Amino acid sequence: LMPGVKYKEVVAGTGPQAEYKQAVIASWEAEAQGVVFEVGKRKMLRVGDGDVPPGLELGLRQLRNGTKCVVRAETRFAYGEAGRPASDDEGTLAVPANADVEWRIEAHRLWFKEADEAMTPADQLVEARNKKTLGNEHFHHENWKKAAANYGEILKTLNPWDFAEGSDDRSEAETIYVDCGNNLVFALIKL
């Protein structure tokens, strides 16, 4: 893909390639220095949101429905000089400082191009659940800036009043909205 990031397609996907701001639902296994430090199962990542290291981001942009690939990134396109702390909450191991990383990825499907007003309230709720999960993962890995960005995005895009009063979806949307507001405050305090 570029010097420092290598991409190898193992199984070709079908359909169009992921575009900027498109959601990719994928599973992956990530390894550094011969140790698997993270396993993601059917997670949604939005291309261009900066929720993952640059090397993985470049790999996501190559995916199509059903693609299986391997992305190898030098440390500057992975977790860099700082590495990444472990998280018991997320069940991940630490990534050592200056470690190269390999991701083995399977793209299950591509989803909406962007979170916008074209999404139904049910789709907005799926997006909000995902962003909250990503925000929590960043928080547990002490990446306060990315955690705050995810929580803030939910507060901008999720409108609990779009759901029928008294419905389970409204209750969940209100809970996510309040939780993310509180989490945003904690992330900003940590900054």
Distance CA 15, CA 100 (A): 31
Residue 69 has a pLDDT of 98
Residue 123 has a pLDDT of 86
Give 40-86 pLDDT, tens digit per residue.
999 989 899 889 999 999 999 999 999 999 999 999 999 999 999 99
Residue 144 has a pLDDT of 95
Whether the CA torsion 116, 185, 57, 39 is positive or negative: it is negative
Which residues make beta-bridge pairs with 36? 31
- Whole-prediction pTM: 0.80
Q: Does residue 163 register a pLDDT over 70?
A: yes
Least confident of 113-117, 119-123, 125-129: 113-117
Residues 6+ positions from 66 with CB-CB distance below 8 Å: 11, 12, 13, 14, 106, 107, 108
Q: Does residue 115 register a pLDDT over 90?
A: no
**Mean of pLDDT values over 119-130:** 88
147, 139 contact by CB (below 8 A): yes
